[in-house]
């Protein structure tokens, strides 16, 4: 007996359980993609499986809806694969072990993949039915959303006719997402000159900062360890004769770094003494400033006791490297006027590293206004041009800008009010959503993102609320009827 048998909507949970029985982690999507292709072929539906394993399934409109505008139902087939230490599941080969408890579906010892298996299950249930009124449909199920929206980026938009898109990839019932930030990874590189000389090696590290996601959590105003290191170096360089040996901080461009370190070569014992005194003063000042946002902030130092010959940057390279670190823009740049309290444009210096050739500053730039993202990238280029460095743009994806007029959004909101007697929450997110990529491919696209309640996604505590899944199903069907 199937674990989810008896749950409603029956067809949705039937397909959700089938999906969960097939391995479908990011970069491991061939099997689930083939399953979707076979599903469509068995029902004589037109299906496209591209080289990336994205799936597009087309179904004509039902009686009376044949000439209505085509609607795209969109989600992604890959899931984040996390498991408890004692869980024996091999995500490359095994399906999930589902369980039902307290009105919620979860998976034993692993992530559930409700993000975004529920979208796939909804779509298959609609495609398999002959009694659901709907306009012509294009069901688009992408791969590798969880590792950078790679499938959506690779998909050929020219094969899609629809300009109305229902993205079922949100985790809060009653919330209608209608805008998201575009983004890019920016790697600024500054060449340096290295010399061998005698001096006293010292180093200091900033750690125990709060950190967080550079999109969703940048609004909290927590400190960036790389930025803090830049400030400290600038202040030290005013009174201490020093050269940089190395810089390091952060692991990912889209995470606010919690720790960073700088190694220095000081000229004299007097510089060592001045270094220790200035660090103590700076620690007290910064600790006071961060007591609300980063109460665990700490600053450590270590110092060599003997003068030794070391390789370090020249004084000029040190000056330029510190200038770049201290002057490059960081953090929130502009707040939204459409959504009070929402960050509109920001950047995060997520990774700082150096070697004998260069210092590299890696940023995640985000904005829900494309022109502001480009302007911010231009500012980084401008500064690096002055300093003698270069800028490389990677993983550039478009924003999904808020539409002042949206027929789809109006229908979604009106339908929600009539079904549930309350107002939906219209919102935007300062992070990437596949709608942004589709908006860049399909001119004039009218899109929304919504979904049932999913809690603790990307963790082994992930749950899908059964009652919410049923309500969202009924909501989706009513919206299709009105479209």
Q: What are the extents of the domains in the chain?
A: 10-180+400-482, 184-397
H helices of 170-268, in order, are: 225-237
Spatial distance between the Cα atoms of 298 and 207, rounded to a whole number of angstroms: 5
pLDDT value at residue 93? 95
Spatial distance between the Cα atoms of 428 and 406, rounded to a whole number of angstroms: 14
Which positions ≥6 away from 116 have C-beta within 8 Å? 75, 76, 77, 79, 145, 168, 169
Burial (Cβ within 10 Å: 0-12, 13-18, ≥19) of residue 172: middle
Residue 103: pLDDT band (50, 70, 90) is very high
Average pLDDT over the chain reads: 95
191 has which bridge partners? 358
- Looking at the chain, the whole-number percentage of residues with pLDDT higher than 90 is 90
The predicted-structure confidence for 371-417, as pLDDT tens digits, reads as follows: 999 999 999 999 999 999 999 998 888 889 899 999 999 999 999 99
For 3-26, what is the mean pLDDT?
A: 97
Phi, psi of 366 (to 5 degrees): -135, 145
C-alpha pair distances (Å), 247 with each of 27, 136, 230, 339: 33, 56, 10, 38
Is the pLDDT at 293 greater than 90? The verdict is yes
Q: State the CATH class of domain 10-180+400-482.
A: alpha beta
The predicted-structure confidence for 432-442, as pLDDT tens digits, reads as follows: 899 999 999 99
Is the pLDDT at 1 greater than 80? The verdict is no
CATH topology of domain 184-397: Alpha-Beta Plaits (3.30.70)
H helices of 3-140, in order, are: 10-20, 30-42, 114-128
Is the pLDDT at 256 greater than 80? The verdict is yes
pLDDT value at residue 294? 96
For 158-182, what is the mean pLDDT?
A: 96
Is the pLDDT at 295 greater than 70? The verdict is yes
pLDDT value at residue 251? 86
pLDDT value at residue 216? 83
C-alpha pair distances (Å), 392 with each of 256, 348, 389, 431: 20, 15, 10, 21
Give the H or E element holding residue 286: helix 269-289
- Six token digits for residue 14: 């039937």
For 204-220, what is the mean pLDDT?
A: 92
Find tokens 């409700």 and name the residue.
114
C-alpha pair distances (Å), 165 with each of 53, 133, 237: 20, 17, 54
Taking alpha carbons only, the member of 92, 78, 188, 174 closest to residue 458 is: 78
Is the pLDDT at 154 greater than 90? The verdict is yes
What is the number of helices (H) and of strands (E) in the chain? 11, 24
């Amino acid at each position: 007996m199937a674990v989810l048998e008896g749950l409603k909507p029956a067809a949705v949970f039937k397909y959700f359980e089938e999906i969960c029985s097939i391995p479908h982690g990011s970069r491991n999507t061939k099997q689930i993609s083939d399953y979707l292709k076979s599903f469509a072929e068995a029902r004589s539906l037109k299906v496209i499986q591209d080289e990336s394993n994205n799936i597009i399934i087309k179904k004509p409109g039902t009686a009376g809806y044949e000439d209505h505008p085509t609607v795209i139902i969109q989600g992604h087939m890959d899931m984040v694969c996390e498991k408890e230490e004692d869980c024996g599941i091999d995500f490359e080969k095994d399906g999930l072990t589902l369980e039902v408890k307290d009105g919620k579906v979860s998976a034993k010892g692993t992530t559930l993949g409700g993000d975004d298996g529920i979208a796939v299950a909804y779509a298959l249930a609609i495609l398999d039915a002959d009694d659901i009124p709907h306009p012509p449909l294009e069901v688009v199920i992408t791969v590798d959303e969880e590792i950078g929206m790679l499938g959506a980026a690779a998909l050929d938009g020219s094969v899609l006719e629809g300009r109305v898109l229902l993205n079922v990839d949100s985790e809060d019932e009653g919330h209608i997402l209608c805008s998201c930030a575009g983004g890019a990874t920016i790697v600024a590189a500054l060449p340096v000159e290295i010399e061998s000389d005698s001096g006293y090696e010292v180093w200091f590290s900033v750690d125990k900062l709060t950190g967080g996601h550079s999109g969703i959590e940048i609004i909290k105003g927590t400190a960036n360890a790389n930025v803090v290191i830049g400030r400290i170096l600038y202040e030290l360089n005013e009174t201490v004769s020093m050269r940089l040996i190395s810089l390091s901080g952060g692991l990912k461009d889209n995470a606010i770094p919690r720790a960073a370190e700088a190694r220095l070569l000081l000229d004299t014992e007097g510089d060592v003494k001045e270094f220790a005194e200035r660090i103590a003063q700076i620690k007290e000042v910064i600790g006071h400033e961060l007591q609300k946002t980063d109460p665990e902030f700490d600053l450590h130092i270590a110092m060599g006791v003997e003068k030794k010959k070391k390789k370090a940057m020249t004084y000029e390279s040190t000056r330029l490297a510190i200038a770049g670190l201290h002057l490059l823009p960081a953090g929130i740049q502009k707040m939204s006027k459409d959504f009070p309290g929402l960050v509109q444009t920001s950047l995060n210096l997520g990774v700082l590293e150096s070697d004998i050739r260069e210092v590299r500053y890696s940023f995640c730039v985000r904005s829900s206004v494309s022109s502001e993202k480009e302007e911010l990238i231009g500012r980084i280029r401008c500064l690096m041009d002055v300093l003698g460095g270069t800028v490389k743009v990677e993983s550039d994806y478009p924003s999904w800008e808020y539409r002042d007029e949206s027929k789809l959004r109006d229908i979604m909101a009106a339908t929600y009010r009539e079904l549930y007697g309350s107002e939906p929450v219209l919102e935007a997110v300062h992070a990437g959503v596949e709608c942004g990529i589709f908006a860049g491919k399909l001119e004039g696209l009218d899109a929304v993102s919504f979904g049932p309640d999913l809690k603790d996604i990307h963790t082994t505590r992930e749950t899908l609320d059964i009652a919410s899944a049923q309500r969202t199903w009924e909501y989706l069907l009513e919206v299709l009827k009105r479209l």
